[in-house]
Every structure is written in structure tokens, then in C-alpha cells.
Structure 1
């Protein structure tokens, strides 16, 4: 189908109800909408007919369209549209609070305009082809991706330990059917050991895949991203969009993606998984920021989410033993850490973010750029950073601290918003910290109780600022330091933002 033809989709024909052939409909398809007009019985009085006999369905609400042969009449064909629509909740709480939920709906119509199956089927396939391309056009993808790469498979990694050991079953029960309806092609690899996905993506042929999807918590995303960065052709590898099916305890990555689309996030695990599966099947390719991190043992790591030092790192690491509790594990450990807070001595050097700064990282990456050459402002960790205000833009914050967190995204998990102002592509990192002063237990308790909606920033004792780069230097030799929920060697650590360097499977907010 030529690109010019796609710009002028205008189909109209008569269908009938798949159970009641006497009920007829006029279906009209354009680039933006599917109109379903109920034909009125000509024998009835026009004044008694329904005033509103037209249903308008935005193409954005259609995630799939399938054609089948009729089981009742061998000459006829079925055309089914699969929808995912935001509707008012039918529960009492939904009526009172005007809560909206997503609902999966399907509309099936019969077609039998011609006397032979082949002609009817050819016409139905024409509808299918135009509906499918209308969906793809709404995704704002480049035309070559729509026509050349759309039939390529996505590589799906399933962590069998995810979702309390139920990840594979969850995918089969709640995702596979949706992707079949959406005709979304994929290949599943079940990870067999820690680091399996990282090693796997280092050797794949990039042109064989349309993207990479992780059915897991956030740990597998961290693993795959760092595997892609370890390829010689990492620049091309990062053009593969990354999708996330929430099968873990944190699920921050998909939470941030859905927040970006301004959709309400489904509360139950199953509905959240369905929501994510449909988003992936109809995704747009969206850029997102990352950070390059240097650790004290000489590693260069790439972070998509956060760097934690202090109570947040303690909660993240020490709660591993409660992983069977799901996201509740963070709450259990947070209560323990608030009652017995640790003191973290040291200092933070940071480079403030200034949108007018002419040293802003522009990510002019070429095929010759190495990952060691990605940082613009970082010195070797053993070299001191000048904080002289007359010669340097770097500044220092002295401890002791109870909490230090540096993030590139808003949500740390489905239930916690660490930096409410953040988006996928800020172009900066957000540094927040709580110093040791006043009633530290009370301050920590206040901050954690407001973490679900990001309102902890309203407290004066929570200090924060946008930064371009940082260095954390602890005074002690023992403690927890976490990158994207993964523990790294404790000691000096530094990092810098990499604006819009990677791609994810997301959706831009709708304008309606």
C-alpha cells in the first residue's frame, strides 16, 4: 500500500450484526475514526427511531482487527474490532468519585454483500488492511518502519522469578491473547540465570528485531540496557525501543511510560499487565533520558532510573528478603529504617542544570563515539573536583545525610513518585536529599507517607534541585549504594545525564 493511498482512507459499506442478520450497520472508516451507523427499519415511523444512531470510535481506541470466515454461512465473513476504551467505573466508588477504568471491548460484524466467499473475503481484507495501517499511522512511526519492519518480531524476555514466580503464566493468560488480536509478532526467551538477558542482547542481529520487551521487574531492564551499551554497535542497538510488561515488585519503567501518556494507571496486577500489553502492541517510539555512572571499582554503568544513597538504598536492598510480598516489601523495610535511621556522612558535588548553559550535552553521537566518550563533565574518580565559584560551576553539599536520591524519572515504583515534576526527557537529573537535623524519624516518616503522590517535596526539609552531573563521596566504607535497584560497590560514585539517548515503547498524550 502506497503512502499516498494511506493519506486518503475513506471506506464505507453495509454490514450486519453477527447474530441478527436483520440488524444492519453502515461502517465508515477514515484515518482518525470508525463510524458505526445503525440502519433504521424503513417500515418504522421515522419519528420513533433513535435520534442517536451513530457511534464514533477513535482509531486510537482500536488496537486490533481480525477477519474470519462465518461459521453459519460459508459465503460470509466476520470482521472484529478490538477496543480498549476509558469508561466510567460501574462500581459505587466509581459513581461517587467519577472514576474511570479501561475496558476491553470487541465489535463483530458480518459481511455478505456478494454471493461468493472469495469476493467477500477480498473486500473484508481490504478493510482489515486499511484499519491496520490507520492504527499504524496514529502511532506516528516513520513510514519505513510501518512498511518494512512492522512484520518483524519483538524479542521478549520473561524472568521466571518475576511476579512471585508467575511471570510466564501472567504473560500467557493476559498478554498472549491481546497480542494475537493486535497481530503483534514476538518471540519469547525465558531467562535461565542472572545475566542471561544481558549476554543474549550482546550477540543478537539487530535488524532481525523490532524491539525488546521485558516481562519482569525493573532489574531485567537494567540488565538489558547495560548489555546493549556493551555492544560495539551500541549506537544502533539503542535505537531498538524497549517495552516493559510489569511482572515485578517495582515496575517503575512502565509506570513512567504510562504517566507520560497521561493515562490513569490500572490498580490490579492483571489490568496493569493488560494496559501495558495494549500500549506495547500499539506503541510509538519515545526517547528517554539516562545517566552514565562511574563506580569506585572502575565500572561504567548506565542507569535508566535512579542512584540511591541512604535510607532509600537501605530499603531497596534490605527488602530483598521480603520479595514474596511484592511492592509491600518496600513499606515493611521503610518502617524499620525510619525507626532506626542510619547516618550517612560524606559530601555531594554537583553541576547545576542551566538550560541556557552552552555546555549542555547534545548527544552528537557518531559511529566512532565510544561509551567512554559519552560523559562531558566527569573527571576520573580519583581526581578532585574544583568547587571554587570563581573558576568552576561545580558546587558542594556537606552531610551528614539520611536520604540522597538522584533520578531521571518521576516514579520509583508503581506506588511511589519520587520527583513529581520529572518526565521521560527532562535533559537533567533531579537531586533530592534530607539532612540529619531536627526530628529525623518524624521527618522521614512524613516524607515516606507522601511518597505515593510526590507531595514530600512540599516539606522544607526535603531539598532538591535539577543537576547535570554529580559525585557522591561517602566518609564510611560500609553502606548501601544502589543503581536502578541493583547494589554496586560502596564508595565514591559519579554520574552525568544522557538526554534522550535511548528509546522506549510508549505513547504520546492524546490531544482530545
Structure 2
């Protein structure tokens, strides 16, 4: 069978029947099982029987020919199927799928006649219902996903309505098996898609219509497309949209990394950022020049990227899978009042940052602009003086870390700071608010009419004889539940509940609490590493790729709690720099062991203090005020859309 076979049903559909719908303890529905025999006509004008089965593994096809005993089998895995559509036959036109073409009908007695013409030669009305199954099967050679369309024609019954019910049963069976729920149609909300028409070479609108929209249609994903009109359009929309969680199931960014940066910061500026960051996954469609995040996701999940990065990224975004991702809290500014932003990609000072910003004049060349400007900057090499601080990452610390959105109760010998769980690590900022709230599950013999006794109960610590569960400052996502036993008035109960709701609301609205000193405060050399000198560049990354052709941090994971910092010191020769940049595409640019001039460091926080007034510092490719800057990792704060596993 080719990838676009047209299969005609000519038999009774069988299904695994259940008297009632059951749901597993984890909320997933049991897989639907369906089976039916179909026929196609080959070039020799003979019928070929195909048995098609749907189960929890996918669509299984078993092909038998009348002239030989040869049997061919194929399994289209469930994770490769993105959707299906049922109804009338899709006619061939410019907007229709190319797999649909005029083919022959199989009559009830097995004879073949022209489509729409009965055995007696008279025109007849087609009562068939059709099911179109869309899948993208991964191939290793060449490494890519190929579209596979299977068309099932149901004509067991005399009326279209009866055949349509069978096609609908198969359609729903595929969805139920994929989503694990019988209520999938009610649970699916539309995606909010933000598209920058000027991203990359300025063709993102056309790329979306030609490559993204067809896949979304095949996957039955409804969406609200918003075209950005100016800088910070996406940031303002995400920050101020009150019905974000109610209206949308996720946000899809069809642009470069710059628009993702806007959306991330708009999300983190919301008062309900904790809730939104957990339930509003972000997806990326690489329509820009750099596309570092999209390539990082494809790389980590062993998914194809080239030659159709937009197609492959769209398939990842409709898979329904998400995973936590680290972000970096950034503080910068020379004045006493510093600015706070959030990064997901990188922070640059020196050579790579210069190339990123100064090559903007060549934006029309797309990704090639980075290569051309790198050559130019290597010829006229610059160095920058400054101070560098970093807080080393330790493996044993990472084993015990927990994300802000997914933390558990910590062990007694572990200090929890801002969602990170590090053994024997104390916060460096003595002004950090360490006030703890408690969930009091039982309050024996407490007079709920007395506000003083209520406040005393709130202040009890974990060593109390009461059953107490700590909130661990502003990072906790737990809610305080109070057992309101005994006799109490409705007024006192409402008063207590009102106080609890107010406290919860205030806590949820707090931004992530810093675990390191503010930018204006000194750092301790007891825990921080320090050096001062002259640098060609200092560049940090929290993803594998800075752009689609720059594998900057090969060991990085989306949620490993590590910032990878690459330092190139003054005195490095061009003979060392040239192979460094040539090998960036393969990830072999880093030395196996630290050298005098090139070093890679794993850290969880850093501070850069440039000297002088001229230079470029970038955060996720965006230029910021030149001056002191620091960052700290926040593990697993947001969720991103990813493919169906490695």
C-alpha cells in the first residue's frame, strides 16, 4: 500500500462492546477496539482484502491478495496519528488533500464499477461515509516524518446516516485512545496562536498558512490567531488577558525566540502566574532566524528538524504532551532600582552578543547573517574588562531539587529556597522573606470565636504537637486547610475562610523569591567563585541550542536546574577561536578539560560586572541596558509542548 491508499469497506464492523464506560483510577479511559474488513483494487483489476483494526497501539492493517498467499502487515502507531476526519468524500481541489483522487467503487457483490455508477450502468447516489486518518510516521533514512493518509470508506448500510455512525465510531475511538478520555471533545479548548509577521525573513504569515494551518486542521485543533502589530504586543496581551485559562488550552508562538521571550515575561508578570504557568503550556513554531528553543526540543526528543522545521515543530505542538522547563530570573541595571526579567535561552556578554545584535542589519538573509557577521567580528576581535561571579552547581544538590510548580515535602536536612532543594545551602540574602505559613489540619479545643487564638494557631511551627504542613514561603502551591470542628458560628467560620483566602491570594501573587543577594549587595566568597580580568565573551545557556545551527550546551536538559556558562578569556588566539565557532554546529567546540583561555562551568547563579560604558549584553537575543547583570535558575517553572517521547 502507498501512503495514500483508498480503502473501501464491504463488511460488518465489529467492536469490543461494553455495557458501560469505565475509567481507570488515573482518569484514563480504557482503549477502544474496532475491526472491519475493507477492499481496494490494484492495477491488475483484482480485489485486495485489508483487515483494519484499531486498538490501544494504533491502527493495524493486514493485507491479503486473491492471487497469492502473500500477506503484508503494517502498524501505524497511535503516537504517530495526529487526527482524523469523517463525513463526505473530500473532493480534489486546490485546498483539498492531494491523497484524495477519483477511484473505483466496490459493489455489494464484490464487482467493480465506475464511481457513482451502478452495475446496470445507471447513476446511483453514493451512501458511503468516509474516514480520513492522518499520521506522520518517523523514518530514520532519511531522518524525517512522512505524511501517511489512510482513507476508509464505509458502505455497509444502505443509508449515508447509518454509515456515518460507523465512521464516527472509528473517529471517536481514535481520539479516545489518543487522549485517554471519553470526554475529549468537551475538554479541548482552542489554542491562542501569536504570530509575528516580520519574524525571520518576513514570510511567517505565508509559512503559517501553508505549513501550520493544514496540520492543525488534520489534528482538529481550533485556534485563535493573533497577529502582533508592535513590540511587546504579545507581552501585554498575555499579562492582561483575564480569561486566558478559561478560553485557551495553551499558547503557540509562531515566530522566533524573541516572541517567546515576550510571552514568558508577560506570563510571569501576572498576579496568577503560578496557576497559569502550570496549566498554560507554551509551544514554539520556528518562523524566526535563530530558533534555538525549537531546535533544542527536537534535539532532546530525537525528532527530525530539517528539512521542514515548521512542520516537525507543529507536530510536536499538537501531540498533547508537555514537560516542565527551567527559566532564569534576571536582574540588571546600574541604578539603585534594578529591573527584573525572565530568560529561557541565554545571557550574552561579548562576542556572541555582539554578533547577535550587530547582524540585525542583515536580517533579510535569515540565519546566514550570524555566520557572516561572526567572520567579520573574528577579524576585528574585541575584549571587555569586568568581574565575574558564579555559584557552582553540585550534582548531589540537583538530585534533591524540586521545581516551583512540582515540589514535594522536603527532608529535614534540606533547605528549600525558591523551589530549589539544596542540601546544606543557605540563602545569601539576609533580607529574603523566610516567613512560613502552615496548613493546620487539626485544631483541638480552639475557640474559633477568638481571633487571638486563631492567630496563635497560625504562628505554630513544625515542631508543634499539632499536625502541621509547612508552606515553605512563597514557593509553595499548597492551600491551607483548617479543620473547623466543634461548635462555632457561621460568622466565625466565614471570617476564618476569608482570612485563608486572602492569605492564599497574596501568596500566589508574589513573584519568585530570590535566593541570592540583590544586585546592589555584595556576594560572599565563601560560597561564590570570583575572578576579574579581560574577556572575549561570557555566555550562559539553559538550552542545548542558541540557534538552529548552534549546539552550544550539548549536555543541557529542559529541566536539569543547570546554567551552562562558557568563558573565553583575553589572550585566546584566532587559531583557537576559529575551530570553536566552526564546531558549534556539532557541539564539539568545548574543550574536554578547562584550558587557560576557554572554560565551561555548570552553575546555578551568576553575576557579571562589566567595566566601561560601551558594550552589548543580551538576554534571549534581546539587547538590554549595559551594566551589571545577574541570574539564577528557577527549575521547572513553565511547561512547554514537546513530541511524544524520545
Q: TM-score, normalised by structure 2?
A: 0.71
Tell me, yes or no, if structure 1 residue 415 matches structure 2 residue 549: yes
Could you tell me which of 210, 215, 220 is aligned with 1:173?
Answer: 210
Tell me, yes or no, if structure 1 residue 85 matches structure 2 residue 137: yes
Q: Is the 8 A contact 1:378 1:494 kept in 2?
A: no
* Alignment CA distance shift 1:315-1:81 (3 Å): same
Q: How well do the aligned residues superpose, as a CA RMSD in angstroms?
A: 2.2
**Distance of 2:616 and 2:269 partners within structure 1:** 25
Structure 2 unaligned blocks of 5 or more: 1-20, 92-115, 117-124, 398-413, 420-474, 478-504
Could you tell me which of 274, 282, 292 is aligned with 1:235?
Answer: 274
Tell me, yes or no, if structure 1 residue 401 matches structure 2 residue 535: yes
Cα deviations across residues 33-55 of structure 1 (Å, max 9, x unaligned)? 211112443xx4xxx321x3221
Cα deviations across residues 174-208 of structure 1 (Å, max 9, x unaligned)? 11111111101111000111111111111221221
- Counterpart of 2:37 in structure 1 is 14
Could you tell me which of 605, 629, 633 is aligned with 1:469?
Answer: 605
Measure how far apart 1:223 and its partner are: 0.5
- Where in structure 2 are the equivalents of 1:95-174 lying within 5 Å? 98-137=141-180, 146=184, 148-150=186-188, 152-174=189-211
Cα deviations across residues 430-474 of structure 1 (Å, max 9, x unaligned)? 1111111242x2222221111111111136443112111111111
Measure how far apart 1:76 and its partner are: 1.1
Tell me, yes or no, if structure 1 residue 25 matches structure 2 residue 65: no
**Distance of 1:471 and 1:155 partners within structure 2:** 36
Measure how far apart 1:277 and its partner are: 1.4
Measure how far apart 1:241 and its partner are: 0.6
- Counterpart of 2:285 in structure 1 is 245
**Distance of 2:370 and 2:178 partners within structure 1:** 39
Tell me, yes or no, if structure 1 residue 507 matches structure 2 residue 507: no
**Distance of 1:374 and 1:428 partners within structure 2:** 17
**Distance of 1:160 and 1:279 partners within structure 2:** 22
Number of equivalences = 481
- Counterpart of 1:3 in structure 2 is 23
Higher-Rg structure is 2
**Distance of 2:349 and 2:132 partners within structure 1:** 52
Q: Is the 8 A contact 1:280 1:505 kept in 2?
A: yes
* Alignment CA distance shift 1:330-1:2 (3 Å): farther
**Distance of 2:182 and 2:371 partners within structure 1:** 47
- Counterpart of 2:265 in structure 1 is 226
**Distance of 1:462 and 1:118 partners within structure 2:** 71
Structure 1 unaligned blocks of 5 or more: 89-97, 138-142
Cα deviations across residues 338-387 of structure 1 (Å, max 9, x unaligned)? 11111111111111112334456562343544787524432121211121
Q: TM-score, normalised by structure 1?
A: 0.89
**Distance of 2:266 and 2:325 partners within structure 1:** 17
Higher share of residues assigned helix? 1
Measure how far apart 1:18 and its partner are: 8.7
- Counterpart of 1:344 in structure 2 is 384
- Counterpart of 1:95 in structure 2 is none
* Alignment CA distance shift 1:263-1:361 (3 Å): farther
- Counterpart of 2:444 in structure 1 is none
- SS of residue in 1 equivalent to 2:396: coil
**Distance of 1:171 and 1:430 partners within structure 2:** 33
Q: Is the 8 A contact 2:267 2:277 kept in 1?
A: yes
- Counterpart of 2:88 in structure 1 is 69
Q: Is the 8 A contact 1:17 1:110 kept in 2?
A: no
